[in-house]
Amino acid sequence: MSKWAGTLSTTEPYNHLSVMQVRQGNENSEIFDFKVVRNSVPYDLTCARVLFCTKFKPHILVEKEATVLKPKEGLFQFVMDDDCMQRVGDQEGYFEIYEDGVLLDTTQNFVYTIQSSILKMEMNGESYIQRLEDLLNQLNDSFANGNAEFEKELEYWRQYVADNKELLESIDPGGALLNRINELQKQQEELNGTLQTNAALQIGGETPRPVFSSALNLLRQKIDRTKFNVLHMTDIHTDYGHGRTSWKYADMFWSHITNMQSLQDLADVAIYNGDNADCYIKDKDISEQQQRKFGIKAIRSAAIPTFVNLGNHDNGSPPFKRDIGKVMPGDIITNEEFKDFYETKTKLFDEVRNGDSLYFYKDFEDKKIRVIGLNTNDNNQSVFNSDGTYKYGSHDHFAMQQEQLKWLANEALKVPNDYHVIVFGHCPLHETIFDNRECAIKILEAFKLGTTVPIKSVYPDHEVDFTASFINQGPGNLVGYICGHWHDEGFNQIGESIKFTQMRCL
């Protein structure tokens, strides 16, 4: 039998509820019967799940499932347990409505009053009934999912342990909570670059989340291992939700990299094709931490040759994010810093680079494939406006300079006749704000035709003037150019004298 009843709305700014007082420690007696309405009409809960949600300080989030009684009438029942009554006093909660794992709606918040129980031990004025196991799991999940609030939460828990040391020692004599906090602190220091260890950081989780299991298993069954298989991810924008309440699930972005890495045993190469982080953050240090975190997750966890290309978001240069509407040189991540984040100096996978360049090629002799990665944000960073700001900010401008284009023509595309070549770059080759894209297209056309072509630029500050010749090696096999940036999927036929395929990826 229910103890409380009332009506909750998803649309009106109020609920129809009486004063609800619950007592800590009451088991299976704090029972609520609720009717949920939308625009004063009963909410149809057929095939829906209803979850109660509340929060006790930033580190303890509660989500409990209710029982739908009469779906057509919007009626459901919820039984509160200790997790929902952790603090004496007024507490706010609400219900979320899901169908097939998708959030459909939420009710307005409501208030319930928690009364103390003499059977519960108080800790700093609050009842301590959260299990230590739950606290450990929350810390682990926060770190694994790349939570931007992790350091703040970790600082809270350090203070929490200090304030309640005697009590924690009595209920946790092995010191599991304290030991785990110290371990996570060391891992965070490694992430920030202040501590160098060989610890394997499993950002985003070590295995895929269960919601993706069936889709990944289906994909595994479809992959032909005798082919040349590429794992490709572009425009993941891993910190897209940093400080933005509208991007509720941004911390989950990292788990998609885990999904991709779970297929490494079936693939030959992995490419992360730019906009690896969003970097719409004024603080350069935070953007650097995000890029360092991405490098650790993408490259240190790699079991196959893995390469990272730059995108226009990665260096943190959108001018509109600055208070002055401009980007000064000290505000962005430099190419030299990216070389450290993306391991271009170490050449971990025996790739060929132009020195330690942010572009590369890698041969796969068993399948006669060459993979080429280009830097489409190869802007001239030595050119400034009169006020000292960059003339060519990477966020709003693409370019390839002569050194990279000559390397492409004279080295990267010089392959045996029986090889096929796949080229990757962040920006589509028909983007209009892309200096020397025409030069790159002419080089790829000449490679396909086995001809000679003059390569000359019409762009000031990005001058190009040389000849690309493929006469001696003859016509080449170009699979195509694979890119991102536009956040769409489709194909283009690029070229004038001969066409080749460009594939745009979402």
Q: Is the pLDDT of residue 197 over 80?
A: no
Helix (H) or strand (E) holding 180: helix 176-192
Contact 452, 467 (CB under 8 A): yes
Same domain, 119 and 167: no
DSSP-assigned letters across all residues of 9-77: ESSSS--EE---EEETT--S--EEEEEEEETTEE---TT-EEEEEEEETTTEEEEEE-EEEEGGGTEEE
Q: 27 burial class (0-12, 13-18, 19+ CB within 10 angstroms)?
A: exposed
Same domain, 282 and 402: yes
Alpha-carbon distance of 328 to 296, in angstroms, equals 28
- With left for phi above 0 and alpha for psi between -120 and 50, is residue 318 left, alpha or beta? beta
In a domain, 116, yes or no: yes
Give me the mean pLDDT over the 353-362 stretch: 97
**pLDDT at residue 118, as a whole number:** 47
Q: Is the pLDDT of residue 180 over 70?
A: no
**pLDDT at residue 129, as a whole number:** 38
* First and final C-alpha spacing in the chain: 52
Q: Is the dihedral of CA 48, 54, 55, 60 positive or negative?
A: negative
Q: Is the pLDDT of residue 187 over 70?
A: no
> Which of 51-60, 63-72, 250-259, 485-494 is predicted with the least confidence, judged by mean pLDDT?
51-60
CATH number of the domain at 481, please.
3.60.21.10
Average pLDDT over all residues of the chain:
83
**pLDDT at residue 201, as a whole number:** 47
The answer for residues whose C-beta is within 8 angstroms of residue 175's C-beta and 6 or more apart is: 169
Same domain, 185 and 321: no
Higher-pLDDT residue of 147 and 234 is 234
In a domain, 212, yes or no: no
Structure tokens at 239: 């910190």
User: Full-prediction pTM beyond 0.85?
Assistant: no
Domain that holds residue 188: 132-192
Q: Helical H runs in 229-349? A: 253-261, 284-295, 335-341
Q: What are the distances in angstroms from CA 23 to CA 1, 116, 121, 126, 413?
A: 17, 6, 14, 14, 74
> Which of 45-59, 123-137, 148-162 is predicted with the least confidence, judged by mean pLDDT?
123-137
- Split into its structural domains, the chain has a count of 3
**pLDDT at residue 135, as a whole number:** 58
**pLDDT at residue 297, as a whole number:** 86
Domain finish residue from 104, 127, 150: 127
Domain finish residue from 73, 105, 127: 127
425-461 pLDDT tens trace: 999 999 989 999 999 999 999 999 999 999 999 899 9
Contact 134, 145 (CB under 8 A): no
| Residue whose C-alpha is closest to residue 175's, from 136, 130, 142 | 136
Alpha-carbon distance of 209 to 211, in angstroms, equals 6
Same domain, 9 and 81: yes
Higher-pLDDT residue of 276 and 56 is 276
Confidence of residue 39 (pLDDT cuts 50, 70, 90): confident
| Residue whose C-alpha is closest to residue 322's, from 335, 332, 313 | 332
**pLDDT at residue 130, as a whole number:** 45
Same domain, 123 and 145: no
Confidence of residue 293 (pLDDT cuts 50, 70, 90): confident
Q: Is the pLDDT of residue 192 over 60?
A: no
Give me the mean pLDDT over the 289-311 stretch: 89
In a domain, 57, yes or no: yes
Structure tokens at 111: 């208030």
Q: Is the pLDDT of residue 35 over 60?
A: yes
Same domain, 472 and 499: yes
Q: Is the pLDDT of residue 356 over 70?
A: yes
Same domain, 249 and 346: yes
Buried b (16+ CB within 10 A) or exposed e, 230-242: bbbbbbbbbbbbb
Contact 143, 187 (CB under 8 A): yes
Helix (H) or strand (E) holding 371: strand 369-373
Alpha-carbon distance of 51 to 65, in angstroms, equals 4
Q: Is the pLDDT of residue 177 over 80?
A: no
**pLDDT at residue 46, as a whole number:** 93
CATH number of the domain at 32, please.
2.60.40.3350
Higher-pLDDT residue of 183 and 342 is 342
Alpha-carbon distance of 457 to 273, in angstroms, equals 25
> Which of 19-28, 298-307, 308-317, 374-383 is predicted with the least confidence, judged by mean pLDDT?
19-28
Give me the mean pLDDT over the 28-35 stretch: 87
Give me the mean pLDDT over the 52-69 stretch: 81
Give me the mean pLDDT over the 19-42 stretch: 86
> How far, rounded to the nearest angstrom, does the alpha carbon of residue 498 sit from its chain's CA centroid?
38
Give me the mean pLDDT over the 362-387 stretch: 93
139-160 pLDDT tens trace: 555 555 555 555 666 666 666 6
463-474 pLDDT tens trace: 999 999 999 999
